[in-house]
Structure 1
Amino acid sequence: MKTLSPYALGATLYMPATREDLLDVVFRNKLPELRSLVVCLEDAVADIDVATALSNLDNLLAAIHQRGGRPADGPLLFVRPRDSEMAAVLNEWTLIAHVNGFVVPKLSMRNLDAWEQAMTNPDLLLMPTLETHEVYNPGAMVELGQALKANLNHRIIALRIGGNDLMGCLGLRRNPATTLYSTPMSYVIPMLAGVMGSQGFALTAPVFEQLATPHLLKQELELDIAHGLVGKTAIHPSQINIIQDALRVSLEDLNCAKLIVNDMTPAVFKHNNAMCESATHYKWATNILERAKWQGVKQAEVTGSEQPIRLAEAGR
């Protein structure tokens, strides 16, 4: 099974499986900047449209197959089944080999066994979504993390934080004038970053549902990155470049990371008026280098160009 870096996700755009332009996005005729796509059969599809959505997904996979597979430079492709029963059906589709994996909605200890039994295809990577009331309980998250590591760890690219559903558990909705960190998510996100992050899982940030306040999206992204989140869900194409620009690494952080992982660097040294300790900061440095590989470096600091350099593509 091919492994994927969670930093390759970037902005992950959700599109209903009923959309007619999915093939254009997969083959980069539309949204060529997109790094990852989720074809949604769950919340984005009404009950009466499920059959149509499944037929449309089947047609999409057949069209991909007819073209000889997805393009190497196209977005990563995931499918979000409606439930474990639907996942079991999709798991057996021959052409499901043309997707990278499944996004698992509303995962908890109560339904983990059902999902495990449904997703037996070892080539399908998984992105479980944490979006049920159990997420507010750190003990439950420790237990879920341990269970995931026991059986599915090698298939999980990242855990997704479902901010809207988690707010819905409390009967709340985001204030359009503030970031998610001015809500109870200011407890949940740091807790998950600690509990799940310390178990080795990468986490992606919740959707920003307000389209008229890109400045708030940028503020929220700064906080997402400060908490170690590796990507963010997008609900509209206008958010893609904003998210991916924020995920680029600063030249200062890149140079510092290179020094920290260098075997010839002293154990403790000063860089840009900050103490750096190779043993303590080594994991941070490797994460910075991996993020730079996939998301690029803030080019404005180097050449004034608005185009990023993605180190993962530098040798192509």
Structure 2
Amino acid sequence: MIEYVKLGATLFVPSTHKNLQQILTQEKYPNLKSIVIDAEDGISEDDLLYAKQIIKDTLKNYQKNSLSVFIRPNDPNTLKEFLSYKNIDKVDGFILPKFSLDNADQYLDLLKNTKHNFMPSIEGKELFETDDLKVLRKKITEYKDRVILIRFGLEDMLRQLGMKRTCEYSIFDYAVCSSVIGNFLCVFKSKGFAVSGGVYPCFKDKDGFIKDLKRDLKEGLFTKTVIHPSQIDLVHEIYKVTKEEYKDAKSLLEASDAVINLGGAMGEVKTMSPYAKEIIQRADVYGVL
């Protein structure tokens, strides 16, 4: 399975985008680490047949490279169609949009006998119901070695709450959103699932985007869905680790004692080792400041 730490900035590109081929061959955005070819929200209903044909034609001559490529169908029926396409085994997996109690079994039955990785995206009423989230978690637990991470629909959450965020605030500045995301993290991260950061819609606001990324990291969210190529390098720069973080992580992983001194703070080796491992992975992929 692809390690979630390596996804970095994940660019969502409508399958009808004029530059799709150049992006897939890494002619454009060579620093991009992962892409989602979108056949869902980025495509109008009238264009869906055309969008599916483009994906089918693209796969016929697709040559795998270092770019991690995922496809987002608009529902289980479209996923079933995509799974029949030539060379579909060359893509790295799928985003499962609007993953819910109503369609989870359909999605999972389709993927059961494949080797594809996938990322469920929970976007509906289940976001607000802890018991429902736990049911979904149980359904995907047997596929844990193929679930790269879990996604949540940030804009879908706001829609259901009748809210609209503005660029001046972090999503965590809204009490109800912070509560929902915190609960989501508790349900999934406590069982070893990674969770991706949500979309930052204000793509012209560089400072706001950087603030949003740093808050994601603080809250335990990693990888970032981006909607504009200008955000790619910003993500990868913020994902670099500091020399202090790297030094502490190395100390924790190499320690022979159960408790060590981390710059004047207590470092419990056993409890902090998952954090330390992620820091080292980030350093390997993105570098040290």
TM-score w.r.t. the length of structure 2 is: 0.95
Name stretches of at least 5 consecutive residues in structure 2 with no aligned partner.
none
Q: Which residue of 2 aligns with 1:313?
A: none
The CA deviation at 1:222 is 1.2
Q: Which residue of 2 aligns with 1:279?
A: 270
The CA deviation at 1:229 is 1.3
Q: Is the 8 A contact 2:60 2:86 kept in 1?
A: no
C-alpha distance in 1 between matches for 2:228 and 2:154: 16
The CA deviation at 1:19 is 1.2
2:201 maps to amino acid: E
C-alpha distance in 2 between matches for 1:78 and 1:225: 23
Q: Is the 8 A contact 2:59 2:85 kept in 1?
A: no
C-alpha distance in 2 between matches for 1:241 and 1:253: 21
Percentage of matched positions with identical amino acids:
28
Q: Which residue of 2 aligns with 1:216?
A: 208
Q: Is the 8 A contact 2:224 2:235 kept in 1?
A: yes
C-alpha distance in 2 between matches for 1:246 and 1:85: 38
Q: Which digits, 9 at most, give the CA deviation of each residue in 1:54-102, with x for residues without a partner?
A: 11111211221xxxx222x3x2000000100000111122311121001
Counterpart check, 1:33 vs 2:27: no
1:30 maps to amino acid: K
Counterpart check, 1:245 vs 2:243: no
Q: Which digits, 9 at most, give the CA deviation of each residue in 1:172-224, with x for residues without a partner?
A: 11122211112232112222222100111011000000023211111111110
Question: Paired residues, what number?
Answer: 288
Q: Which residue of 2 aligns with 1:48?
A: 46
TM-score w.r.t. the length of structure 1 is: 0.88
Q: Which residue of 1 aligns with 2:170?
A: 179
C-alpha distance in 1 between matches for 2:233 and 2:185: 24
The CA deviation at 1:120 is 3.8
Q: Which residue of 2 aligns with 1:107?
A: 99
Which residue, 16, 19, 28 being the options, matches 1:18? 16
CA RMSD of aligned residues (A): 1.4
The CA deviation at 1:263 is 4.2
1:292 maps to amino acid: A
Which residue, 92, 97, 113 being the options, matches 2:89? 97
The verdict on how the C-alpha distance between 1:30 and 1:121 changes in structure 2, with shifts beyond 3 A counting, is farther
C-alpha distance in 2 between matches for 1:275 and 1:83: 49
Counterpart check, 1:70 vs 2:64: yes
C-alpha distance in 2 between matches for 1:138 and 1:120: 26
Q: Which residue of 2 aligns with 1:123?
A: 115
Q: Which residue of 1 aligns with 2:77?
A: 85
Which residue, 166, 170, 185 being the options, matches 2:161? 170
Q: Which residue of 1 aligns with 2:287?
A: 296
Consecutive aligned runs of 4 or more in structure 1 exceeding 4 Å deviation: none
Could you say what secondary structure the match of 1:233 adopts?
A: strand
| 1:218-237 equivalent positions in 2, closer than 5 A | 218-237=210-229
Bigger Cα displacement from structure 2, 233-242 vs 279-288: 279-288
1:212 maps to amino acid: K
Q: Which digits, 9 at most, give the CA deviation of each residue in 1:19-48, with x for residues without a partner?
A: 131121111100111110000000100011
C-alpha distance in 1 between matches for 2:156 and 2:113: 28
